[in-house]
Structure 1
Amino acid sequence: MITVNDITQALRDTFPDREVCFDLTDVPQNITLPRGWEKFGLSLETVPAYPDDWNSFAHEFPTTIALLKNCLLGTALLIDDEVEMVYVFHDGNSFYYYVGGTPTEVDALNAMKSKHLPGRLQDFYREVHNGYTYFPTRSMGPQRLNEQSLVSDLVDDEDDSFAKNWITLFSNGGGDYVAVEADNNDNTEGLIWWHEEPATPELGIDIFEIMDAWMAIFLEDTKPRKELILKLT
């Protein structure tokens, strides 16, 4: 039988070095939450709360949002030097988590290399999360801004100039990346950089379509809440 208490205990065991908040009343008074983060929590029978701004990206991340609506067991806040939101899922055998960072302020966004990213992607970092990735590998989702890198830094070849303007957005955890070319005015066009074929990336891809598809493949064993309730309670 699975209960909310099972989820809370699993979160505390997984994040022992961080304060885990399950309700707004748990949040220390000195913490100011981002807009839209006031509602969060755990639920097995109703759609748990998560930031409404996800819905602005229904076109870009349709499968990811469907997963939140159908499979999410809840959200909680992780607090230490920073605040992050953890999303709880279950595959029928165990819990697993995605972690999203606080949205990035406009001034900070403009001051970082992210100002060279496509505008719609900047919207995601500013409105939803600064990174939304699988824990603990920090992969299989849009990377945090400070974890993005130039593809040229990943190339072992002596001549890496062909990749000097490519910025990573998404790691598959196996050495491959979804990336964009800096200052590309197209809001969706990017490339897949395959580490085994560094000089011949797959060009002209839709970055949101590929990121959403890769997350869907990674999360294909995620169980719907209704199935978990029937099977596990």
Structure 2
Amino acid sequence: MEDKLTFLKRYSPNIEILGVSSFDKSQLDMLPLYWQEAFEAHSSEEKLDIILSEWANYDYQFQAVYSYLEDNLIDVDLIRQNNEISLLYSLRNAAGNICYYEGKNPKTKNTPENIRKRWNEIPESFRDIYDELHNGWVYFASQSNGLSAVENLFFLDEMDWGILEEIDVHSLPFVLSDSIPFFSNGMGAYACFDLKSKDNQSGFIWYHDKAPRLDIELWAVIDEWTKIGIER
């Protein structure tokens, strides 16, 4: 069976798995407190308990994912890629195989200017995750199937969509330039929020090849799709 680091290097050749003992004080200060506490724990079990306790604060957003983590989280490592520190989650999927998810550091996120200007229009439920838990949480190999990192957020009007030739964009109840995809399934479906919406719980699914699905419960979709991605 391929070992963890060999697998990871197929996707990120310069990746390193780190120990917290290699960090000086200034580097430690750039890590969230729960990361520091987890990697200073006396056992692997205690480390995972600390991390899961932090996730428990966000069960409104990630109820299904949190439940899956409770039952299937095997390990969490500190990793470094291109001077960027993340947590690497090792999970057991439905087939019994190990899959890896990356949660980036919320304290070092580099928010694009166009997103930063409208940050306060993003629902607090998203900002809380990005500011406190992780700057995105995605399947490591594809960097999708989870909440996208802020560096990868964009407005729908920034992309060319073939589907716009088949639908009347002016009839849609949202404007592309106000709409951000927060989740991608890696196959052309995106869970989006319209910043002009008065309902912070609802969103829509934007497809690259068919008309959007409207009026979804946004976090319920992101949560369930993320869990399904892990199970596969």
Fold shared by both chains (TM-score > 0.5): yes
Q: How many residues align?
A: 214
Asked if the contact 1:18–1:78 (Cα under 8 Å) also holds between the matched residues in 2, the reply is yes
2:197 paired residue among 153, 174, 184: 184
- Counterpart of 1:179 in 2: which secondary structure? strand
1:16-165 equivalence runs, <5 A:
16-21=13-18, 23-32=19-28, 33-38=31-36, 39-40=38-39, 43=44, 47=48, 49-50=50-51, 52-79=53-80, 80-91=82-93, 94-104=97-107, 111-154=116-159, 155-156=161-162, 157=164, 162-165=175-178
Q: Does 1:205 align with 2:216?
A: yes
Q: Distance in 1 between matches of 2:5 and 2:146?
A: 24
The letter for the 1-side match of 2:121 is: H
Asked if the contact 1:47–1:69 (Cα under 8 Å) also holds between the matched residues in 2, the reply is no
The letter for the 1-side match of 2:89 is: Y
Q: Distance in 1 between matches of 2:96 and 2:71?
A: 18
The letter for the 1-side match of 2:200 is: N
Pick the structure with more helix per residue: 2
The letter for the 2-side match of 1:127 is: E
Q: Distance in 1 between matches of 2:21 and 2:189?
A: 41
Structure 1 residue 63 displacement after superposition: 1.2
The letter for the 2-side match of 1:31 is: Q
Structure 1 residue 184 displacement after superposition: 3.0
Q: Distance in 2 between matches of 1:112 and 1:102?
A: 21
- Relative to the length of structure 2, the TM-score reads 0.77
- Counterpart of 1:60 in 2: which secondary structure? coil
Asked if the contact 1:20–1:78 (Cα under 8 Å) also holds between the matched residues in 2, the reply is yes
Q: Distance in 2 between matches of 1:129 and 1:153?
A: 25
Q: Distance in 2 between matches of 1:152 and 1:46?
A: 42
| 2:188 aligned partner | 175
- Relative to the length of structure 1, the TM-score reads 0.77
Asked if the contact 1:168–1:179 (Cα under 8 Å) also holds between the matched residues in 2, the reply is yes
The letter for the 2-side match of 1:37 is: W
The letter for the 2-side match of 1:143 is: S
The 3 A distance-change label for structure 1 pair 146 and 84 is: same
1:2-21 equivalence runs, <5 A:
15-21=12-18
Q: Distance in 2 between matches of 1:185 and 1:25?
A: 47
Q: Distance in 1 between matches of 2:152 and 2:50?
A: 27
| 2:179 aligned partner | 166
Asked if the contact 2:154–2:181 (Cα under 8 Å) also holds between the matched residues in 1, the reply is yes
Q: Distance in 1 between matches of 2:138 and 2:178?
A: 24
- Counterpart of 2:146 in 1: which secondary structure? coil
The letter for the 1-side match of 2:132 is: E
The RMSD of aligned alpha carbons is: 3.3
1:173-193: CA deviation from partner (whole Å, max 9, x where unpaired): 001100000143433211111
Identity %: 25
Structure 1 residue 115 displacement after superposition: 3.0
- Counterpart of 2:180 in 1: which secondary structure? strand
- Counterpart of 1:137 in 2: which secondary structure? coil
Unaligned runs of 5+ in 2: none
Structure 1 residue 167 displacement after superposition: 0.7
1:53-80: CA deviation from partner (whole Å, max 9, x where unpaired): 3111112211111121111111111124
